[in-house]
Chains A and B, each alone.
Chain A
Amino acid sequence: MTLKFEAWKAFEDIYDVLGNQEFQEALKRASTNNQAKVAKLLHERPELLGFAEEVRDLKRRSIEALGELIGKAMESLERAAAKPYYAGTAEEARTLIGKIIGSGKRIVMSKSMAATEIGLRSYLESLGNEVWETDLGEFLIQLEGSKPMHAIAPAVHMTREKASTLVAEKIKVQISRGSVEETVSAVRRFLRDKITTADVGISGANALAADTGAIVLVENESNIRLVTSTPPVHVAVVPVDKIVPTLVDAFKVAIVQAAYAGLYPPTYINIIAGPSSTADIEQVRVYGAQGPRELHVILLDNGRLKASRDPALKEQLYCIRCGRCQFECPVWVHTANTWGGPTYGGPMGIVWTAITLDPVEAGKLSYLCLGCGRCDEACPMNINISRELRHLKTLATQALRRS
């Protein structure tokens, strides 16, 4: 199974959603609310601007030393009794995870773009496993059979009416049409059983600290807590660009990501430094107390190390996936991630598609970039996204002219 992507197909989807009233309405509500929420938050809490500046600086340093940090993180993870793996490509990552998990298992996942990037869910299903997404938005995407439409809010294109109808139909429950409360509680009941009986929990990461091997994950739903602590085995898929020098750095990344996504303070920040253990009896350490006995960490490269040496794309590795650039983009607010590759969309997502999948196809998508620079202005990492997109256009133009 190789992931392939053709930009022309995305263009067709874009034109479809342009004429879809419900889609347009949902996006309009979400982006207007989000723009206002973040603006208010940053105004009321100017200290967040200071944090963002610190994260900018530490991300730059981290990417500069990426190769070295990967090595350090591997060592620290071993010390923390986790099992680290380096995966050069999406395929390698899938195979590694397939070997760890095998078949016939029940698996629960917390939203992870990295997992989507490597096509993990369908791969694990093809091995004969039962797989459930537990983040509400991602669960809706799973039910709909579509792809995440925003970095933080995957089901941003669905109105409450659409979401309630979808859940009612797919998991066969009664929900009053348009009731958000009833939808949430139906999903909670449905997933709770899957989570408590799951063999494996899979998560992503907001950041990974090279000094300690600690993974930091930020959330509001508490599904990450459950997924990473209930099943006996936890597999974390961590893109290498998320490695930062220290645990404090990792914590700051999570805070800034949440703030610029409009969720501050976030309800939960999880720190996971190794499998669950106890030394309560005679100070002998035993793994698998109430939480997982095994923690496997897949450090996913998939084009990142190479991009860290490419002056035209390197800056994208500073990205903390807050999704600001998407909500602020005049094109994206009418297309969501239909303007994108299979995993990532919108301004940042086109560059991520170039890094992890195909620069020329990503370049074709970037023809729709206005070059207006609102994304650059909004990005807490000060990434010059519009410049990257224009660079990708030059690659697409060269390829088209040769064809």
Chain B
Amino acid sequence: MLDPLQIIRLVEDNMRAHGLPFPAPRESLYSWAKPLNLPEKGSPMIYTGGLYQLTPYIVSVVESLSKTEDLRLTSMAFRASRLLSALGLSGLVVRPKADVASYIERVLRSIVELLREAGVKVAYAYEDDMYSGVILYDLGLDSLFKENAVKVYRALKSRGAEVIITVDPHTTHIMRSVYPKYVEGYDLKVKSYLEVLAETGFKVERRDRGDIVIHDPCLYARFESIIEQPRTLLGNAGFKVLEPRRSGRMTYCCGGPIEGLAPKIAKTIAKTRLSELAEKPGVIVTMCPICYANLKAVSDEKVEIEDIALLLRG
């Protein structure tokens, strides 16, 4: 267990300094889309909220922080914040995990290409693709979350967004089900790209691409009722979708949401889930960067894990 107050301060300080929860360059959020030259205004608009792009940074923050996790943290240590000075968290320099970073770029570009193939032309706000505030909400930093949400909403509206297309379950949930409670007059229509693709009847003319084991992300399955869409899309792309023991509405968490505070518990949960997914043959498919990173971190070379966008794109 890490000291929650340190994490809270780290996130707060970084948000105030440059609008991102971790020390990462602003550009890291939109550089993936530079070569695509998407229109910078209009609707529907892709809104990533930054979760995919921040994942390589989160992975390295967690890696450096978890070195202190095993020290026995008594209430004294928490209060005196000895670790804070030992680690120099405020001046923490974070190098993104390079392999994860390039993977994520490929995922995001594939999503845009998939939408294009399905006949959906999207705009993208580049500098105004701001961080959604998922972590602020999860840490209970409500006033900062609200402040940020209002900014995000205004920026998207100023770019002409009416419908936003989200790319991960956390951002989908926060934009669709949480923002309306915090932002007055909120009127954005929010859809996950998986919903958009499924609505268009998107199909890839390929057959017999083998077995895959589906890992439903908690927020899609239980909070946003996105369960059938990925199955239909994967089926249409020639895969045989296998269900793990716990799937759909009763899917099992990858442990990711607490990796920042309790990496050891998060990894224990990830192992439990991974071994369950590996009971079936086939590539494990994820739809969330946090699931991807967390399951990947506890797997060996024998297990193949792939983001749904890359599988659909094939």
A residues neighboring B (CB under 8 Å): 6, 8-9, 11-12, 14-15, 18, 330-331, 333-335, 363-364, 367-374, 376-378, 390, 392-398, 400-401, 403
Contacts and interface: CB of A to CB of B under 8 A. Distances in A.
Contact of B258 (A11, A363, A368, A400): A368
Given A11-B73, A377-B249, A396 B264 contact: no
A403 B4 CA distance: 12
Contact of A374 (B139, B250, B258): B250
Given A14-B1, A330-B253, A368 B73 contact: no
A388 to B, nearest CB: 12
Contacts of A394: 140-142
A272 to B, nearest CB: 37
Given A333-B272, A364-B4, A397-B4, 8 more contacts: A11-B73, A15-B1, A15-B70, A330-B255, A330-B269, A367-B262, A394-B140, A394-B142
A15 to B, nearest CB: 7
B153 interface: no
Contacts of B70: 15
Given A8-B74, A334-B268, A377 B139 contact: no
Given A11-B1, A396-B4, A370 B253 contact: yes
B257 interface: yes
Given A8-B78, A368-B262, A390 B250 contact: no
B265 interface: yes
B218 A15 contact: no
A398 to B, nearest CB: 8
A18 B264 contact: yes
Given A6-B75, A8-B74, A18-B264, A370 B4 contact: no
B8 interface: yes
A397 to B, nearest CB: 4
Given A374-B222, A397-B8, A330 B252 contact: yes
Nearest to B74: A8
A11 B141 CA distance: 22
B8 A401 contact: yes
Nearest to B6: A400
Contacts of B253: 330, 370, 372, 374
Contacts of B138: 371, 390, 393
Nearest to B72: A12
Interface of B: 1, 4-5, 8, 70, 72-75, 78-79, 137-142, 218-219, 222-223, 249-250, 252-253, 255-258, 261-262, 264-265, 268-269, 272-273
B87 to A, nearest CB: 18
Contacts of B141: 394, 397
B75 A368 contact: no
Contacts of A371: 138, 218, 257
A368 B222 contact: no
Nearest to B139: A397
Given A8-B78, A377-B250, A370 B272 contact: no
A372 B222 contact: yes
Contact of B257 (A335, A370, A392): A370
- List the 4 shortest-distance A-B pairs measured between CB atoms, nearest first: A393-B140, A394-B140, A372-B253, A397-B140
B73 A12 contact: yes
A395 B252 contact: no
Contacts of B73: 8, 11-12
The residue in A9, A15, A378 that gathers the most chain B C-beta atoms within 10 A of its C-beta is A15
A99 B133 CA distance: 55
B223 A373 contact: yes
B222 A373 contact: yes
A397 B147 CA distance: 17
Contacts of A15: 1, 70, 72, 264
Contacts, number: 102
A11 B262 CA distance: 10
Contact of A372 (B257, B262, B268): B257
Nearest to A391: B140
Nearest to A397: B140
A26 to B, nearest CB: 15
A14 B265 contact: yes
Contact of A377 (B1, B79, B222, B262): B222
B140 A390 contact: yes
A401 B4 CA distance: 10
A331 B4 contact: no
Nearest to A371: B257
A379 to B, nearest CB: 12
Nearest to A8: B75
Contacts of A9: 75
Nearest to A10: B1
Contacts of A392: 140
Nearest to B69: A15
A396 B255 CA distance: 21
A403 B5 contact: yes
B72 A370 contact: no
A377 B258 CA distance: 20
Contacts of A11: 1, 73
Contacts of A397: 4, 8, 139-141
A20 to B, nearest CB: 12
Contacts of B137: 390
A41 B262 CA distance: 35
A374 B253 CA distance: 8
B4 A400 contact: yes
Nearest to B76: A8
A378 B75 CA distance: 34
14 contacts: A8-B73, A14-B265, A330-B272, A335-B265, A370-B218, A371-B138, A373-B223, A374-B218, A374-B250, A374-B252, A377-B249, A390-B137, A390-B138, A396-B140
B140 A331 contact: no
B279 to A, nearest CB: 13
B265 A334 contact: yes
A18 to B, nearest CB: 6
B72 A331 contact: no
Contacts of A398: 140
A317 B98 CA distance: 49
A131 B273 CA distance: 43
Contacts of A374: 218, 222, 250, 252-253
Contacts of A334: 265, 268-269, 272
B139 A12 contact: no
A329 to B, nearest CB: 9
A12 B73 CA distance: 7
